[in-house]
Amino acid sequence: MSHTPATPRIGLIIVGDEILSGRRQDKHFSQIVQFLSARGLQLAWAQFLGDDRARLVEAYRRSFASGDIVFSCGGIGGTPDDHTRQAAAAALDLPLALHPEAEALIAQRCAELAQQGQGSADMSLPENQQRLQMGVFPEGSEIVPNPYNRIPGFFIREHTFVPGFPVMAWPMIEWTLDHRYGALHHQHVRAEHSFVVFGLPESRITPAMEAVEQRWPGVRAFSLPSVGNGRAHIDLGVKGEPAAAEAAIAFLRDEALRLGGELASQATTVSGPRP
């Protein structure tokens, strides 16, 4: 997918010491790649960060300055180890403020819990005042609705901030993709072709891959070797504009055969504008 002003790059930031320590396994990356692919979009970069406010501020300063669309998962709660809201505000040199819509939604959630016998709907109580901290966002933010428990995330400067819990984060990200970025869906036709080849080292096929990118500008060649589990092989492929990609994959297959490779399965995917 070419990156023009109409199709900005999309980035992902995943926040949490528990991910970096291995206490929890990240589930966001693969799922968000799927959400984007289903809409004819793709992820340009991803970053994993711990709950370190200074590092978060640095990372958000870079991402805000990039102009990229960014999804940030985790760290927006109200406990001392949550730093994302504060870091985003510091990165933008903005004050934090209780968002009125977030305040109303959190109060509604507290009332619902009280009806279930959990806590009180009195928002003056210390525990509910603490809950309101989850609605304190960088000034000028818009809320991102949370269908799971009403506690919203926030959106500012093409950045969408959601909780780390997949059950909350994923519908919030899908909502953002469809409501804020629907015009970007399936804008460009893009094809990806690949085939499996045995008996061919990467070093031998690399010049052919370089030739693909020289002869068909905009087409990218890729190589995914597999070793240590059965017979060694390479998944070779190209991606780009359909006509050029089709010519490029034919060239790459011919070169693989000429260089002594044994071809196996082939795969093709195409994404682009829908009727």
Domain 10-184 sits in CATH 3.20.20.140: no
Farthest-apart Cα atoms in the chain, separation = 77
pLDDT digits (tens, 9 = 90+) for 215-251: 999 899 999 998 766 788 999 999 988 999 999 999 9
122 vs 2, residue with greater confidence: 122
The span from the CA of 24 to the CA of 191, in Å, is 35
pTM, two decimal places: 0.84
Q: Where are the domains of the chain?
A: 10-184, 190-271
The span from the CA of 127 to the CA of 89, in Å, is 24
For residue 228, the model assigns a pLDDT of 63
SS3 call for 183: helix
Could you tell me the pLDDT band of residue 273, with boundaries at 50, 70 and 90?
low
Is residue 60 scored above 90 in pLDDT?
yes
The span from the CA of 175 to the CA of 148, in Å, is 13
Is residue 163 scored above 70 in pLDDT?
yes
Is residue 81 scored above 60 in pLDDT?
yes
Q: What does the mean pLDDT of the chain come to?
A: 92
Domain 190-271 sits in CATH 3.40.50.1370: no
For residue 275, the model assigns a pLDDT of 43
For residue 143, the model assigns a pLDDT of 98
DSSP 77-117: SSSTT--HHHHHHHHTT--EEE-HHHHHHHHHHHHHHHHTT
Is residue 274 scored above 50 in pLDDT?
no
Tracing tokens 């340009």 back to the chain, one arrives at 44
